[in-house]
Every structure is written in C-alpha cells, then in structure tokens.
Structure 1
C-alpha cells in the first residue's frame, strides 16, 4: 500500500482546490454586484452631465443673435406658390 499516502495527499489537494474555488466564485459574485452598482451610478451621473451640457448649448444658442433673416419676403407657403 505505498500509494495510500499519495492518494490521501491527492484527495486533500482536491478538497483544498474545491474550497478555494467556492471562495473565488463567491468573491466574483460580490465583485459583479459592486461593479453593477458602480456602473448604474456612473451612468446616472453621465446622463445628468449630458443633460446639463445640452441645456447650456440651448441657453447659449438662445442668447446669440440670430444670423437668419427674420423675413425674406416669402409668403406663408414658404416660397412656393
């Protein structure tokens, strides 16, 4: 029975590998949860920033004097008769 210590060591190693794998999978689950929460928060903040930038563009566009001619002599049909 010289193979018995080797078999016992192999079983012990497999048990340790299984325990390590379970811990790693649990850690990955927590990591996914944290990453999802961070992604949602970042997306919300990015959306708010985009909305503010769009609002500023509209406000600046409204303050600039218009380069378009207010009345070009066309009728209500838009130039078509």
Structure 2
C-alpha cells in the first residue's frame, strides 16, 4: 500500500521545489525592478529640479530685462509721454 502513494509524494515534492525556484527568481526580478524604478525616479526628479531652476532663472532674466526696457516706455507711469522726460523725483 505504500507503493501507490510514493509517486504522488514525489510529484508533490518536485512541484514544491519547482515552485520555490520560480518564486525565488520572481522575487529577485522584482527587487531589480524596484531598484531600477528608484534610480529612474531619482534621475527624473533631478531633471525636473534642474528644469525648474532654469525656468526660474529665465523668468528673473526676463523680468530684469523688461524693467530696464520699460523705464522709458508708456508702461512706466513715471514716464512723461508729452515732455519726453522722467517725472520721478530724484535727490540728485
């Protein structure tokens, strides 16, 4: 009576070993994927940070350029269009 159950137990043991091997490989692959995802996320985050910094620098440069150009235009309320002079009060 032990003979018919021996092949069944052997197949069960073989199935468990195969399952363990496959599970270990899948877990290793998932760990590698998680590491790669973290690296990509960090690099994208760094790139986004640099892009934001460049954008802010451009905004500052444009604002500086506009402020010097607008000093002699109608956009500046201190500029007198009729007389062509500057109506700002200076202490100099």
Please classify the TM superposition score into its range, dividing by the shorter chain length.
0.7 to 0.9
Match of 2:44 in 1: 42
TM-score when normalising by structure 1: 0.75
Please list every run of 5 or more consecutive structure 2 residues that lacks an aligned counterpart in the other structure: 79-86
Cα shift at 1:69: 4.2
1:52 to 28, 36, 54: 54
Which structure has the larger Rg?
2
Q: Deviations over 1:16-39 (max 9, x none)?
A: 000111111111111111111111
Gaps in structure 1 of 5+ consecutive residues: 74-81
The alignment of Structure 1 onto Structure 2 pairs a total of residues equal to: 73
Q: TM-score, normalised by structure 2?
A: 0.67
